[in-house]
Structure 1
């Protein structure tokens, strides 16, 4: 059996079929059944079926109240040749009320993202308050937690605003809209962009999926991407302060 590097997909040489390897998800440690595909299936087809399976398996598991925290599989056309990598985004809480930190690995790029429904709280990380901050300073400037739709405040330029309106064209009363700032590191070149890039993410009411848009230094402007949740637990963790101007000089 040949396991594709960087994935959970294998090719069974004897049975001549693709196999999605089993996962250990239940509290009892039982493995979910492996899922097999025909030899003629294209790797991209197998990959998508596997991703759909992982998301469906997450949806089927019992959960507590809906939460933004967890791990999401990312789909984005701008990500070059994503196979066999699995682009992911992992979200966790921070010590600053109303602000969450995400870590992403898109294959070619990786880095941290700060999220909040209150855009003003993100000024803390963009330097718009006169300083550049790391997560270790968050408790000092904590504000009231606002787990509600922050809406648009009209500060974006025309083209960016139009693109965001397309992403948010559904009812604003149901999904939660989070403003984002992103830093990135290019794995291939080793270049780092420590200047925060803005975007927004619109979550479904149960936080199982989202649609986002953001400027991405190495992918383009107003890049749309979507996420499907596969775990309520965050995995990858990258620190905001580690992607700063000082780190970029090394």
Structure 2
């Protein structure tokens, strides 16, 4: 599909969707504690989305059953909330969620500690989040998708982490997934040129070990092959003539 350029009015609608999504993440993060199930987080998210007048973007998307993806420890993305998945002290849980408001999508993820986590795991979260923040700074008119991926790759591989290549970020707007694809690796100056009005979901997925992942029998949950921890942070970001505007902040 051709890359959809959004008008300033459309970007404002996406920002309104992103505001709801930010409140969802605040509510879910507060519910992350030892003894909670990932289905508990799902209930918090759905209630908050509906209270604020949005619609869950993930539920029913390609028959996905829930509002959230909740990926624990070595689960990279697309973990399905479950009453059986009980969070334990020292775990991490990556929470990915999308909201639709007036036909416009927003998408954001964060990886949250469950109680006290190890220094090694804390570093993984900090580096992954920093790579997203630096990648957002590369979002400028005349830049490229390769600039974004190169920054994530440089920061994370310098720490010995595996940058997941099987899954990538994406354009977003009236659809959950639009062109262009936004990999978390690449070469500066390569790939799609960025233009004002493009909106991107930038989402580093970073493993403490190798980059290799596999999808489980449920057809959704992706896990690290070596069993290492994985972190996932994401924002929806508009390209404007004045620089990047984070719509899910």
- Bigger CA radius of gyration: 1
* TM-score of the pair, normalised by structure 1: 0.23
Q: Which has the higher helix share?
A: 2
* TM-score of the pair, normalised by structure 2: 0.23
Which one has more relative contact order, counting CA pairs under 8 Å at least 6 apart? 2
Q: Which has the higher strand share?
A: 1
